């Protein structure tokens, strides 16, 4: 594991994270995977949801889904769902840690699981759930010119990211914004030139 991933993993393990426990909400987990590096950069896979799914039709999300009784942990949920949705083999995934839990507008408590997948990252989308897989370069997301106002809520400072014709918004953008802040912190800890 490279120094940037080691630094990120340490931050994820050290920090006090917001955890939403208890029966008030169904629980789910998503996988924020850093694939690569390819050409000295990582890519993060997102799914464009089909119009056949129950929630968030046509929106961009991380692979993931609702915790089921046979899942031994929320990490297991994220890995199982990522395999079912886009064919990510669990054996090739290295878990780095968790981000803060959040509640979606569908009233589901979501735990984002951060992981690393060495290159290559072949995807096999589920035609029922995934219309397209977007592999978005990390450098693109870190570039402030690609953070745009959320068109659904003019004047409100909500995270929203442009990738070509696609907009990443809502809970996915909130998770991404927290991750990018921690990535910048990890890079600052490493220092220039490391």
Residue 44 in domain: yes
Residue 11 in domain: yes
Residue 144 in domain: no
Model confidence band, residue 111 (pLDDT cutoffs 50, 70, 90): very high
Rounded Cα distance between 46 and 43, Å, is 10
More confident residue, 51 or 14: 14
Q: What are phi and psi of 44, to 5 degrees?
A: -115, 125
What number is the average pLDDT over the span 9-18? Answer: 94
Please calculate the CA angle 75-76-81 and round it to the nearest 5 degrees. Answer: 100
What number is the average pLDDT over the span 95-122? Answer: 92
Q: Are 81 and 63 in contact (CB under 8 A)?
A: yes
Q: Are 96 and 5 in contact (CB under 8 A)?
A: yes
pLDDT at 56: 54
Q: How many domains does the chain have?
A: 1
Rounded Cα distance between 5 and 8, Å, is 5
* Whether the model pTM is above 0.85: yes
pLDDT at 191 over 60: no
What CATH number is associated with residue 21? Answer: 3.90.79.10
Longest dimension (CA), the chain: 47
pLDDT at 28: 95
Domain of residue 47 covers: 3-139
pLDDT at 67 over 70: yes
């Amino acid at each position: 594991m490279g120094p940037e991933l080691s630094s990120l993993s340490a931050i994820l393990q050290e920090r006090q994270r917001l955890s939403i426990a208890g029966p008030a909400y169904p629980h789910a987990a998503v996988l924020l995977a850093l694939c690569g590096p390819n050409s000295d950069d990582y890519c993060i896979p997102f799914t464009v949801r089909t119009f056949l799914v129950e929630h968030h039709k046509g929106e961009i999300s991380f692979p993931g889904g609702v915790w089921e009784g046979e899942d031994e942990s929320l990490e297991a949920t994220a890995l199982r769902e990522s395999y079912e949705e886009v064919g990510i083999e669990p054996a090739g995934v290295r878990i780095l840690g968790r981000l803060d839990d959040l509640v979606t507008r569908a009233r589901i408590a979501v735990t984002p699981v951060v992981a690393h997948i060495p290159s290559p990252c072949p995807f096999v989308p589920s035609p029922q759930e995934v219309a397209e897989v977007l592999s978005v370069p990390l450098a693109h997301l870190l570039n402030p010119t690609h953070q745009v106002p959320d068109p659904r809520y003019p004047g409100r400072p909500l995270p929203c990211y442009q990738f070509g014709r696609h907009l990443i918004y809502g809970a996915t953008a909130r998770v991404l914004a927290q991750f990018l802040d921690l990535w910048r912190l990890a890079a600052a800890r490493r220092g220039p030139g490391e």
